[in-house]
Amino acid sequence: SRLSHAVEAILRELPAFDALAVTMTAELCDCFETKRAGVLRVLDDVAAACAAAGAGASTFSDWWSYKVEAYEAIPHNAALMTRAGILTSINSDLPHQIRHLTVEAAKTMKYGGLSEQEALAQVTLNPAKQLGIDRFAGTIEPGKHADLGFYNGHPLSPYSRCVLTLIDGEVVFEKRDVPHRATAGFLPMKRVRRDPEPPPRAEAYVIAGATVHPVSRPPFAGSVVVEAGKIVEVQNGPASDRYKDLPRINAVGLHVYPGMIDAHTSMGLAEIGSIAGTRDYSEIGQLQPDLKALAAVNPHSEMIPVTRANGITSVLTRPSGGILCGQSAVIRLNGWTPAEMAIVDAAALHINYPAPPPEGAEKKPEAEAPLKQLREMFEAAKRYDGKDKDPRLEALQPYLKGERPVVFEANKIRQIKGALKFAEDFGLKPVISGGQEAWKVATLLAEKKVPVILAGVMGIPDEQHDPADAEASNAAKLRAAGVKVAISSAEDFHGGSRNTPYHAAWSAAHGLDRDEALKSVTLYPAEILGIGDRVGSIDVGKDADLIITTGDPLEVVTDVVYEFIGGRAVSLDSKHTRLYDKFRPRVEKKKD
């Protein structure tokens, strides 16, 4: 009947985020005897129900916590479902993510241990089968449509990019003069996973036999000695004899890097996107420079260990509401209290610089009001003598003196230029954050020695006539002009700050030198945030914020084996690993 056909059509593509929804969908399939090749958006422990219903499942790679139904979502989801015998695919759900869908597929190797072939199938053959077009697409075979992508490196590596696309044998996209990006560090066929090792408990130790990547100079085979939370020796070769009695961490075949830094987050200020009570990064007022993000940081947020597990050891956590948002803090991703986590409790002042009206547009008082209010606040702060106490005006004094940076959230050209003029008028020390169109004013930023924190380099340009890779190549163009650049994932929409290293690699795929890409998530953010004397590179005298990995941390498939913050080994356990360990035996048992 027409009704049953309509119900079948709905059920075949019904989104379902949690266990109850998916189980009910499977039961409805039974009631209406539908063909169970439908695509379900599955984010929970319902592998058995899906497998029994013969349903295919399509899921995000690692989105989570953007709403209650997704708070239990884990990046191991696709691998678990694949192991349970479910036909699984990775979907994008956003236009920008389609462009790096192969990178999303690579996460199934990192989280869950799928093979290279299984990972590639998540975005090729499997979705073709789910859509019923596998006779024509999904694999390269005689007789199938010539729908092909050509890459300048391994497609599962974020260092690679597509340079040619054919649909039905016709060229629909071509990017010429793109250098070959060797992805020798990406060897999925030879990859051996390394789970995190039990952390050593010693206060002083030697990391021996590793390839050391100081970032401040070229890598070498050697050792790193840590005492009392500080790096006391970085040696090419074995450690000095005076450290011979210290415990040793055998890092032969592994790599040591400085812990990575994300300079654009709301870490500890937000937990579940759809629940206002868990969002503490925004207040009601428009002009609140006295607000300090550190006061609201939740040290026990599940976001912290999830992020830390991928090698991020410190972040800038910032308020973002209103025009004059408040003051950010630089925090380590370890500690029992906000004060214990803080590297700098008041690191920078944050301004959402008002977007000026388009050129030639009629001037309206309401459009000019935000900038007028901002100027009036700073002018009042310049006149402030401290006699009549005003916490807001008092909070602005270190910034008017140039003692701390002022971070302007500005993306468009006119915003960026306006922010630079504003900073000049009031003698501020500016940093541009966001910087979507910063490449268009790279020369100006270089002349004024203004650094940029790029947020979301995997995005699609807003301007219709900008190159498709404008944001991806932003960092390369800024560095070529001499601008210091830090790269952030902007918490990667719903994937979190743990994906920041892949945004740096994506910039490298689009022209940024690889060494510069590594510095953009280590040394440069440290220097921009005024903590370059403490973290960001492996040098004597700096804090021992270190990660020991199986390879390049900007590659998706690299595993973090050990992590140290302030010299102390930290656990790489998280909500996600606990859920994976809980449900993996169940899936394996059902399969048997």
pLDDT at 318: 96
pLDDT at 150: 93
CATH number at residue 553: 2.30.40.10
Q: Which of 358, 369, 370, 278 is nearest to 325 (CA)?
A: 370
Does 95 lie in the same domain as 12? yes
Does 549 lie in the same domain as 478? no
* Mean pLDDT along residues 540-549: 98
* Mean pLDDT along residues 218-245: 96
Does 109 lie in the same domain as 65? yes
| Cβ atoms of residues 75 and 107 within 8 Å | yes
Mean pLDDT of the chain: 89
pLDDT at 19: 57
Does 286 lie in the same domain as 140? no
Q: Is the pLDDT of residue 359 over 80?
A: no
Q: Are strands 485-488 and 230-236 parallel, antiparallel or unpaired?
A: unpaired
pLDDT at 18: 57
Q: Is the pLDDT of residue 34 over 70?
A: no
pLDDT at 573: 94
pLDDT confidence tier of residue 36, bands split at 50, 70 and 90: very low
Is 270 within a domain?
Answer: yes
Sequence letter at residue 370: P
* Mean pLDDT along residues 490-519: 92
Does 547 lie in the same domain as 465? no
Does 318 lie in the same domain as 271? yes
| Cβ atoms of residues 274 and 66 within 8 Å | yes
CATH number at residue 291: 3.20.20.140
Q: Is the pLDDT of residue 471 over 80?
A: yes
| Cβ atoms of residues 19 and 46 within 8 Å | yes
Is 66 within a domain?
Answer: yes
Does 514 lie in the same domain as 376? yes
Cα three-residue angle 487-491-495, rounded to 5 degrees: 125
pLDDT confidence tier of residue 186, bands split at 50, 70 and 90: low
Does 530 lie in the same domain as 397? yes
Sequence letter at residue 546: L
Is 223 within a domain?
Answer: yes
Q: Is the pLDDT of residue 207 over 50?
A: yes
Is 241 within a domain?
Answer: no
pLDDT at 94: 83
Residue % of the chain over a pLDDT of 70: 86
pLDDT at 177: 79
Is 134 within a domain?
Answer: yes
pLDDT (tens digit per residue) in 43-66: 455 666 677 767 789 999 999 998
**Residue 477 corresponds to which tokens in the numbers above?**
């163009």
Does 554 lie in the same domain as 480? no
Number of domains in the chain: 3
Q: Which domain holds residue 404?
A: 262-357+369-537
pTM (2 decimals)?
Answer: 0.91
Is 285 within a domain?
Answer: yes
* Mean pLDDT along residues 278-293: 90
Is 172 within a domain?
Answer: no
Residue % of the chain over a pLDDT of 90: 72
Using CA atoms, how far apart are residues 248 and 265, in angstroms rounded to an integer? 35
Q: Is the pLDDT of residue 38 over 50?
A: no
Does 353 lie in the same domain as 231? no
pLDDT at 381: 96
Q: Which of 222, 195, 220, 193 is nearest to 207 (CA)?
A: 222
| Residue 326 region by backbone torsions, left for phi larger than 0, else alpha for psi between -120 and 50, else beta | left
Is 573 within a domain?
Answer: no
Does 459 lie in the same domain as 439? yes
Does 496 lie in the same domain as 416? yes
The number of beta carbons lying within 10 Å of the beta carbon of residue 568 is: 17
| Cβ atoms of residues 193 and 559 within 8 Å | yes
| Cβ atoms of residues 225 and 206 within 8 Å | yes
Using CA atoms, how far apart are residues 527 and 511, in angstroms rounded to an integer? 23
Using CA atoms, how far apart are residues 547 and 334, in angstroms rounded to an integer? 14
